[in-house]
Structure 1
Amino acid sequence: MKSPRSQDHAPAAAETELQALSLQELADLAEAGEEIRTVEAVLARTGDNVISEILRNQGPFYEWEAYPSGGVEDKETHARYYYHAHAPDRRPAQEHGHFHTFLGPEGMPRGIRPAPAAPGHLLEAGQDGPCHLIAISMDRHGRARALFTVNRWVTGETLYRAHEVNRMLDRFAIGHARPSWPTNRWITAMLRLFRPQICALVRERDRQLARWQSSHPSENVLDDRRLEITSWLDIDIEQQMAAIDSFQDGKALT
């Protein structure tokens, strides 16, 4: 996992999407942000955070291992996630580790199919399997610092095109209490608060895959170990909430 840089297209596209939302949609994002604030504040009172919650009772923390053991899955929604960290020389500066989030095929909206195969096309059909939605980069204080997408080989997912992935986002919800009710609530709310950014990042992922395939025509881009991170965006929860407030105020006056 090489140290990434922010993608050029995702921030502007996300801001455009955010500005285009209705007052109700903006209110839904703001509600998710308040949920995140509440979870973080409650955990902070005991010196905890969403990472320490996941690592509790897990024994020694080993790089590359997934935590909690076996990951987390909601059997009703088929949303899944796990947390892990790369070796220090294989992760971005200031990152402790990151969450990977998925949706299993049983939880996807009707009619969604893996990316179709076509002669010479960069996207290859696979067996219906879990779709990677977004990764959340975390700092050593348990705070979210960035969102990013990855190439297919990184997680072994089944690839779905951006417009299909973005249809899945509202289906991601971890509604049970194990291994940590606060972390489950937090990660569910994160995918709602930053939905516009996630949509933009997944579209940028598809563009990056296409660019890479065009410049490496003899390679299978989805299995090319030289391409790991396909889009990246630094984030700040309070800045996102401030932007939502600003757009809400602007729409209320029109």
Structure 2
Amino acid sequence: MARMNTAADEILECYRVLKKGDANIVGEILKGQGTFYEWDHYPEGDCYDSETHAQYYYHAHRAGEHGHFHTFLRKKGMRIGVEPVPYNGDTEWPTEEDEIICHLIAISMDSAGFPTALFTTNRWVTGENWYDKADVIDMLDRFIIDHSTPSWPANRWLTAMPIIFRPQIEQLIVARDAKIIEWQSQKPDVDVFEDRDLEITSLLEISVEDQIRAIKEVIGGRLD
């Protein structure tokens, strides 16, 4: 809980400095990127930390949101010995160390640049390697973007989000795997990981303000 409280303070600090400049998280990512096109990744080439091997990008293609962040951990950032789940389908999963990647959580954003939901996706959505829920949960602590490009407050905010919502994200990842198992049982002749009828595997609407307030109440602090 202490770690969640520290991350909550980090998010509040990011909001404070952005508000002073009349800016927001999404605006920081899109700044200087030219015309905003659906499906394109922002920033161009994604944001990648070469020390932690955490990665993210922002894009848009879903109704009901401005866009969303996808967060990842690459193979070099994972615990030694962690491997994807066995797969006997026809699709080729990434095999090179620099290409192997695991999707952690996606964050929906509204037009004002604030988060509205967390969700997980099927394998085909991001072209990831599929890891068991326990391994993905273990990877959450390793998602750290520790540099200033494209935006220091945005990177700090994205690093803190999986921490303050850790309990909910763990539940979403568990629900993700349960959905895959359920879907496969209903369509045994279909490669569940490549089924375009299954895109979102779990979703939860969120409020950062409510989450921080709950954390502060447990800690015994207060929300200024």
Asked whether the two chains share a fold, i.e. TM above 0.5, the reply is yes
RMSD between aligned residues = 1.6
Partner amino acid, structure 1, of 2:121: V
Q: Where does residue 188 of structure 1 map in the other structure?
A: 159
Q: Where does residue 154 of structure 1 map in the other structure?
A: 125
Q: Where does residue 8 of structure 1 map in the other structure?
A: none
Partner amino acid, structure 1, of 2:194: D
Does the Cα contact within 8 Å between 2:29 and 2:154 map onto a contact in 1?
yes
Partner amino acid, structure 1, of 2:182: R
Q: Counterparts of 1:96-245 in structure 2 under 5 Å?
A: 96-117=66-87, 127=95, 129-245=100-216
Does the Cα contact within 8 Å between 1:58 and 1:69 map onto a contact in 2?
yes
**2:50 counterpart (75, 99, 115):** 75
Aligned residues: 215
What CA distance in whole angstroms lies between the structure 2 residues aligned with 1:151 and 1:96? 21
CA deviations on 1:211-252 (whole Å, 9 max, x unpaired) are: 111111110010000000000001111211222233335xxx
TM-score (structure 1 length as normaliser): 0.81
Structure 2, unmatched stretches of 5+, are none
**2:15 counterpart (35, 40, 48):** 40
Structure 1, unmatched stretches of 5+, are 1-25, 250-254
CA deviations on 1:138-167 (whole Å, 9 max, x unpaired) are: 000000111000000000000001000000
Runs of 4+ residues over 4 Å off in structure 1:
none
CA deviations on 1:145-193 (whole Å, 9 max, x unpaired) are: 1100000000000000100000001001000111111111010000111
Query: Could you say which structure has the greater relative contact order, defined with CA pairs below 8 angstroms and 6 or more residues apart?
Result: 1
Shift of 1:44: 1.3
What CA distance in whole angstroms lies between the structure 2 residues aligned with 1:163 and 1:145? 25
Q: Where does residue 3 of structure 1 map in the other structure?
A: none
Percent identical: 53
Does the Cα contact within 8 Å between 2:93 and 2:128 map onto a contact in 1?
no
Partner amino acid, structure 2, of 1:28: R
Partner amino acid, structure 1, of 2:70: H
Does the Cα contact within 8 Å between 2:105 and 2:118 map onto a contact in 1?
yes
Shift of 1:109: 1.3
Does the Cα contact within 8 Å between 2:5 and 2:219 map onto a contact in 1?
no
